[in-house]
Structure 1
């Protein structure tokens, strides 16, 4: 049986709450989980405003960010854009994802507008992100470091 779902050429690299597989399935029901990897030259930070801080990545040549890669449909992209408040809160950037299986895939990710400062997230948002790391069997070290930076 052929599917009518049209998938995009690029993959989506999730690094925050969209790594949480249960949430991602609700948000983007057509998404296909392609595995995990890293994007290089970025660091993970919580940014935003008081009471509204989310995971973000900022350029840092000495760092890397763990991601979960999804192949998505056009409907999924619309849903993600709405969830990420694109283009108001987050923009889209392209990257190479160095997959854990040794391959390299081109993808896009959401990058928060630079006007937002490092800020502490709510406990519930942090827990949703942490579950995504657990879902994908990724060490939570970088997530914990991002939280530590948000308290300073």
Structure 2
């Protein structure tokens, strides 16, 4: 059974995804409207998540994945303890056809009680690689980094 998966962080990195989920296929790109990026996590590290925000926009890639790939992602994302899954309806620009279509896909969202944090440079670089691949506006990622860093420092 195939499912559609919304990637917004390190899983935008095609090389990483192909290693992790060899049967995954890129379906297209989209913009999550009404969401924002934040870095959150635990003592082991901080990673991207999305949270609701009026007028927010998060660029995403849509992957078609099979059951085995989804189980691999579940382990990688720490589902259900670190991230949970949420189905989201959105408009997608298909890569092969160039057509727009409305789809239902799922995203991993970090549990909201997780603390704001600052990511490692390696993780940030992996995310930037994905933004380059899909020609996304890197300023969105930079803004998420600065907002998370500021919130993190204010909490200390």
The TM-score normalised by the length of structure 2 is: 0.88
- Runs of 5+ in structure 2 lacking a partner? 94-98, 151-156
What root-mean-square deviation, in Å, do the aligned CA atoms of Structure 1 and Structure 2 show?
Answer: 1.2
The runs of at least 4 consecutive aligned structure 1 residues that moved more than 4 Å come to none
Cross-structure match for 1:126: 124
> Which whole-Å CA distance do the structure 2 matches of 1:41 and 1:81 have between them?
25
Partner SS, residue 132 of structure 2: helix
Deviations 1:58-85 (A, max 9, x none): 1112212111001101000000000000
Q: Decide whether the 8 Å contact of 1:11 with 1:107 is kept in 2.
A: yes
Range moving further from structure 2, 29-38 or 44-53: 44-53
The TM-score normalised by the length of structure 1 is: 0.91
- Runs of 5+ in structure 1 lacking a partner? 1-6
1:40 matched to 2:33? The reply is yes
Deviations 1:119-142 (A, max 9, x none): 110111000011011111211111
Q: 2:109 aligns with which of 104, 108, 111?
A: 111
Q: 2:90 aligns with which of 82, 89, 97?
A: 97
More helix by share: 2
